Structure 1
Amino acid sequence: MPEADSSAQRRPEASADVEVPPWVLPAIVLGQVLATSVWFAANAVMPELQSRWGMEGGEGLVTTAVQLGFISGTLVFALLGVADRFHPANVFLGSALAAAASNLSVAGFPGMLEAVLAARFLTGFFLAGVYPLGMKIAAGWYRGGLGRALGFLVAALVLGTAAPHLVGALGGSWDWRMVLLVSSLAATAGGLLVWRVPEGPHTARGGPVRFGGVLRAFRHPGFRAAVLGYFGHMWELYAFWAFVPVWLAAHGLPGQAVGLASFGVIAAGALGCAGGGAVAARLGSGPVALGQLSVSGLCCLASPLLFGAPAGVLVAFLLVWGVTVAGDSPQFSALNARYAPRELVGSALTLANSIGFAVTIASLSLLAAARFLLPPALLLLPLAVGPLFGLWFGRRLWLREPDRG
């Protein structure tokens, strides 16, 4: 039985040095940032929601609901081959509009925790048609230089992730309904912006994809090494972002300083993404990804020793960690896109995202439990498992050809 429809529609082969219109990458980057603004919108209005629930806490539940929605959405999108059967910009627009509507629906029943969790789950589900599709659209335009292009794209997303910490630290007072409305309007604008980006010359359109067809990508040694390295990276990334404020607070930093330092540490990842993309143009995505993963792994192992350092030294150490913990992400994504079968790029990337975000649930849950079992100095040490795993199974990527373009 064939794994994919043999009538797959392919676009004409194009050379790696095809001229890309200068507005394409900025449009994709800005559209991605705007469309994913709904990802953390509920976190920004959490105090108001908590008061309506009559309870403290709930941040973990709301965040997990989005993550679980994203995992479910990416799995469904991958197994149905949505990213490869349909025009990617159309999928992006439809998903952005649905995510915007789901995000705004929280305003209709803020006092019902279950309803809010359901809305956040749907928001994450439809974001599965935004984040991976943006990477597919970029991959359709950039064969050479894809690592550099995705470096800028992910750098912008990292800054968006860090923004709630800055808002909280500066004590900004926002009307919670307005936050939801503005973020939903931004997602709509982002969807419309990317919708105007045509398919690139390297895009392939496939027919209906069977489960075995998507899994066929994992038979390629290059793709398998890249995706396993990516899973090791994901074990560390979101747990680090989530528990940096906890670690800083346990060190004794005051509340506002914790917020500002957390923003700086997470936002520093944008430098790793953009800078790593520039270096990848000369050295290749594989060495850059594994190099940054090595540094972040060493930071994991050194964290118990640095916990007792003066606040300035500790923050400087975390800034280095913040640069490298996120900086390898676009390079692993570029490697995944490069080594996936051309007619399955969208579905393979989407499935990799699904598994990667499932890995984040495991590491987040582990640290949530470890917080009450381990002394604060050891809290981040279990994150070292991810880089060690990724470096071992992705070691062949040291030898891959440079990502020139």
Structure 2
Amino acid sequence: MRRILPTIVFTQFAGTSLWFAGNAVLPELQRELNLEQDAVGLITSSVQLGFIVGTLCFALLSLADRVSPRLLFMLCAVAGAAANTLLVFLPGDLTTILLLRVATGFLLAGVYPVGMKIAAGWYSGNLGKAIGFLVGALVLGTAFPHLLRAFGTGLHWQTMLLTISGLAAVGGITMYLLVPDGPYLRKGAAFDVRNMWQVFKLKEFRAAALGYFGHMWELYTFWAFVPVILAYSLPHLTTIEISFYSFCIIAAGAVGCVGGGYLSQRYGSARVAFVQLLLSGLCCVATVFMLQVSSAIVVIPFLVFWGIVVAGDSPQFSALNARTAPQHLVGTALTVVVSIGFALTIVSIQFTAQILKVVPVPFAFALLVIGPILGLLSLRRLVGR
């Protein structure tokens, strides 16, 4: 029993490291393939698009509730690693990169939400804490490519991609071999295309889901543009320093996830999610002032704090979604909510990318506060209970 949570955490970290693998090697790809500057937004959004299509398919078929989730996790992690590996061996052009990143995102639909389903099968009363560790691993997996790039400057981009792919494959196999189905796992959901809509009939589930959507409007846009924010606020930083600080800022979210998980044991997931979403919304507004200071002593701690709270509420939203969903459709509920949430990230990322062309950086990121405001309004229902 003691090995279960550490194993799930490691496998989630390994699988989700595929997510931003393309971003980590983007500068090298830009030089070799003469890609335009907005390629970062396209490559990030292509992964999100693939993930959305994948989660919609998985939710429509109720796969996570009809087959062994650990088998599904392994197959998707290994296949995702293979898609990431093909970036090295297929002809290098933007179209090929985007198609393979879409495929990787599609397969990640069997890693992130399915990993939470596996955790929900092992943990009940302390689900907020367990998912806190799990999403913390996702955050570290997201940040890992930046660290690899910062300290692996002597490595070719091909070597970095192969390293990340190998890690993801090992994670998938480890999940299947070392994590059996949990005692709280509910099986037997019948195939019904209406399953993915039935979960929204519950008012509490709708409140949790809408809060999650507001959170997602801010989260991935912030992550995707951390290097842009650093380059604007601290123009003296080198490429290596930007990669290292990007890792620190994104990885700081793991502190918020794990810390929030422990706090949820005392104050409840709804209250913890509400406070962290409120703080991250205030950080959005504060960018108008903080990003114009041009002092590393001020900007870096501010961005690290934002990194902590912007991700820290995510596991509590997932715990709320799992608890308020029909118990025989937890996998479907988590998958469809994640699918809609990530669809919003594409809109948010592309919206911000366009706004950056006409609005100064501090004011562009202040607009992200729209998501937290809407999320807080929805979450009030659960906080009151």
TM-score band by shorter chain is over 0.9
Change beyond 3 A, Cα 1:171–1:142: closer
The answer to whether 1:308 aligns with 2:308 is no
Map 1:353-368; keep pairs closer than 5 Å.
353-368=338-353
> Percent identical across equivalent pairs?
52
CA drift of 1:171 comes to 6.0
- Which residue of 2 is the match for residue 340 of structure 1? 325
**Alpha carbons 2:62, 2:195 under 8 Å: kept:** no
Q: What amino acid sits opposite 2:362 in the alignment?
A: A
Change beyond 3 A, Cα 1:348–1:377: same
TM-score by length of 1: 0.90
CA drift of 1:165 comes to 2.9
CA drift of 1:285 comes to 0.6
- Alpha-carbon distance in structure 1 between the residues aligned to 2:89 and 2:147: 27
Map 1:50-129; keep pairs closer than 5 Å.
50-57=30-37, 58-129=39-110
- Alpha-carbon distance in structure 2 between the residues aligned to 1:183 and 1:319: 24
Tell me which protein shows more helix as a share of its residues.
2
Q: What amino acid sits opposite 1:295 in the alignment?
A: L
- Alpha-carbon distance in structure 2 between the residues aligned to 1:377 and 1:116: 31
Match of 2:125 among 144, 158, 161: 144
- Alpha-carbon distance in structure 1 between the residues aligned to 2:336 and 2:198: 12
- Alpha-carbon distance in structure 2 between the residues aligned to 1:224 and 1:55: 41
CA drift of 1:80 comes to 0.7
CA drift of 1:322 comes to 1.3
Match of 1:263 among 238, 244, 247: 247
**Alpha carbons 2:148, 2:160 under 8 Å: kept:** no
- Alpha-carbon distance in structure 2 between the residues aligned to 1:115 and 1:262: 27
- Which residue of 2 is the match for residue 29 of structure 1? 9
Q: What amino acid sits opposite 1:282 in the alignment?
A: R
CA drift of 1:170 comes to 4.3
Bigger CA drift: 305-314 or 383-392? Answer: 305-314
CA offset digits 1:229-256 (Å, max 9, x no partner): 0000000001111223222322233233
Q: What amino acid sits opposite 1:338 in the alignment?
A: R
Match of 2:111 among 130, 133, 138: 130
The answer to whether 1:218 aligns with 2:203 is no
Change beyond 3 A, Cα 1:163–1:187: closer
**Alpha carbons 2:255, 2:312 under 8 Å: kept:** yes
Q: What amino acid sits opposite 1:333 in the alignment?
A: S
CA drift of 1:314 comes to 2.4
- Alpha-carbon distance in structure 2 between the residues aligned to 1:306 and 1:396: 32
CA drift of 1:360 comes to 0.5
The answer to whether 1:184 aligns with 2:165 is yes
Give the ranges of 4+ consecutive aligned residues of structure 1 lying more than 6 Å apart after TM superposition: none
- Which residue of 2 is the match for residue 166 of structure 1? 147
TM-score by length of 2: 0.94
**Alpha carbons 2:17, 2:144 under 8 Å: kept:** no
**Alpha carbons 1:235, 1:363 under 8 Å: kept:** yes
Match of 2:365 among 346, 371, 380: 380
- Alpha-carbon distance in structure 2 between the residues aligned to 1:40 and 1:392: 31
- Alpha-carbon distance in structure 1 between the residues aligned to 2:230 and 2:97: 29
The answer to whether 1:329 aligns with 2:311 is no
Give the RMSD, CA atoms, in angstroms: 1.7
Q: What amino acid sits opposite 2:289 in the alignment?
A: L
Unmatched runs of 5 consecutive residues or more in structure 2: none
**Alpha carbons 2:18, 2:80 under 8 Å: kept:** yes
Q: What amino acid sits opposite 1:250 in the alignment?
A: Y
**Alpha carbons 2:16, 2:108 under 8 Å: kept:** yes
- Alpha-carbon distance in structure 1 between the residues aligned to 2:287 and 2:17: 31
CA drift of 1:90 comes to 0.9
Change beyond 3 A, Cα 1:313–1:48: closer
CA offset digits 1:46-69 (Å, max 9, x no partner): 244334423343222222211110
Q: What amino acid sits opposite 1:150 in the alignment?
A: I
- Alpha-carbon distance in structure 2 between the residues aligned to 1:379 and 1:270: 25
- Alpha-carbon distance in structure 1 between the residues aligned to 2:190 and 2:80: 25
Q: What amino acid sits opposite 2:127 in the alignment?
A: L
CA drift of 1:83 comes to 0.7
Q: What amino acid sits opposite 1:200 in the alignment?
A: G
CA drift of 1:358 comes to 0.4
- Alpha-carbon distance in structure 1 between the residues aligned to 2:302 and 2:381: 29
